[in-house]
C-alpha cells in the first residue's frame, strides 16, 4: 500500500544547510509535497514538485526528486532559527487524500 | 487571509462518550478532510468529503466515525463511542480550488484525550 517514510529528527547549526529526506511508494503521484508545522499551528504547504521534474528551487528551498528511487528531499539553505519546525513529506492521492510521513523535527541551534 | 478554524482546541472525555469536533473550512473550497495524528506517529487520512458526501475514507474510519456538513459552513467529525486509542490530534483541512490537488489548508487541530 501507499507509504511515506522519513527520519524523525535533524539538528543543524544556524547558517548551515539542512537536508530532509523522504521515501515514498506511490509512483503514480502527480505531485509530491513538503508541509511545515510550526509549534501550536496546523500544517502549511511549504512547497511541492510536479512528478515530471527533477528539481525545483524556491528562494532558500530546493526540492530534489528521484523518481527511480522514489526519493524526495528538501534542502534549506542558510537555515535560521525560524526554520525550526516539523517538516512532513506527502505523496498525492488525488483530490481525495494525501499520504503523509511521520514528520522530521528540525532543530536549529546557534 | 482566510483560514480553517477548529473547535475545541482540546477535549478530554471518558471512554465510551460521544465527541463532536467542529471545523469551519475556507468558504469557497470544495473538498473537506479529517486527518489525525497519534502522538509520535504519522499524520493519517481519515475521510474526504465532496459535494455533500464522503468521497473516500480510510480503514480507520469505521462505524464509530461520521462526518456532516449540516449548514454549508461547519464540517463536523463525530466519534460515537470513544476508545482510548482515539486519543490523538485531529486536523481538519479544506482545498480543491486549484490544479494542485494536494494543496490543502489545515486548521490548528483539536487534541482529543480519552481517559
Q: Is B29 on the interface with A (CB under 8 A)?
A: no
Whether A102 contacts B41, CB under 8 Å: yes
Q: Do A92 and B45 touch (CB under 8 A)?
A: no
* Cα–Cα dist A6/A86, whole Å: 11
First-to-final CA distance of chain A: 41
* Cα–Cα dist B7/B1, whole Å: 19
| Identity of the residue in A44, A93, A97 whose CB atom sits nearest the CB atom of B106 | A44
Nearest Cα of chain A lies from the Cα of B23 at a distance, in angstroms, of 13
Cell of A32: 509530491
- Residues in B touching A103 (Cβ below 8 Å): 42-43
**Average confidence score pLDDT of chain A:** 92
Q: Is B68 on the interface with A (CB under 8 A)?
A: no
Whether B54 contacts B48, CB under 8 Å: yes
Which pLDDT value is given to residue A19?
97
* Cα–Cα dist A108/B50, whole Å: 40
- List residues bridging with A75 in a β-sheet: A19, A62
Cell of A30: 502527480
Which pLDDT value is given to residue B97?
78
Q: Which of B26, B40, B100, B101 to mutate to test the interface with A (most CBs of A within 10 A)?
A: B101
Locate cell 506517529: which residue? B41
**pLDDT tens sequence across A60-101:** 999 999 999 999 999 999 999 999 999 999 998 766 789 999
Residue stretches of chain B with pLDDT short of 70: none
Q: Which of A96, A99, A102, A104 to mutate to test the interface with B (most CBs of B within 10 A)?
A: A96
Q: Is B61 on the interface with A (CB under 8 A)?
A: no
- Residues in B touching A96 (Cβ below 8 Å): 31, 48, 55-56
Locate cell 527533477: which residue? A54
**Spatial CB neighbours of B53, under 8 Å, sequence gap ≥ 6:** none
Which pLDDT value is given to residue A85?
96
Which pLDDT value is given to residue A1?
65
**pLDDT tens sequence across A8-57:** 899 999 999 999 999 998 878 889 999 999 988 889 999 999 999 999 99
Locate cell 511508494: which residue? A25
Whether B87 contacts B113, CB under 8 Å: yes
Amino acid at each position: 500500500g501507499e507509504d511515506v517514510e522519513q527520519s524523525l529528527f535533524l539538528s543543524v547549526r544556524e547558517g548551515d544547510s539542512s537536508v530532509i529526506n523522504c521515501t515514498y511508494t506511490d509512483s503514480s503521484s502527480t505531485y509530491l509535497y513538503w508541509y511545515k508545522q510550526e509549534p501550536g499551528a496546523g500544517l502549511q504547504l511549504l512547497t511541492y514538485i510536479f512528478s515530471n521534474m527533477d528539481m525545483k528551487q524556491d528562494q532558500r528551498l530546493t526540492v530534489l526528486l528521484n523518481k527511480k528511487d522514489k526519493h524526495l528531499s528538501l534542502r534549506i539553505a542558510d537555515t535560521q532559527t525560524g526554520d525550526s519546525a516539523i517538516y512532513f513529506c506527502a505523496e498525492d492521492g488525488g483530490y481525495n487524500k494525501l499520504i503523509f510521513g511521520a514528520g522530521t523535527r528540525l532543530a536549529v541551534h546557534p | 487571509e482566510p483560514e480553517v478554524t477548529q473547535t475545541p482546541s482540546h477535549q478530554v472525555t471518558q471512554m465510551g462518550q460521544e465527541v463532536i469536533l467542529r471545523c469551519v473550512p475556507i468558504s469557497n473550497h470544495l473538498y473537506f478532510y479529517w486527518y489525525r495524528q497519534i502522538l509520535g506517529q504519522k499524520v493519517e487520512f481519515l475521510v474526504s468529503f465532496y459535494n455533500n458526501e464522503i468521497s473516500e475514507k480510510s480503514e480507520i474510519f469505521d462505524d464509530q466515525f461520521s462526518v456532516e456538513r449540516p449548514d454549508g459552513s461547519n464540517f463536523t467529525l463525530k466519534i460515537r463511542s470513544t476508545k482510548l486509542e482515539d486519543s490523538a490530534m485531529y486536523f481538519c483541512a479544506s482545498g480543491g480550488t486549484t490544479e494542485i490537488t494536494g494543496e490543502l489548508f489545515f486548521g490548528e487541530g483539536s487534541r482529543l484525550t480519552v481517559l
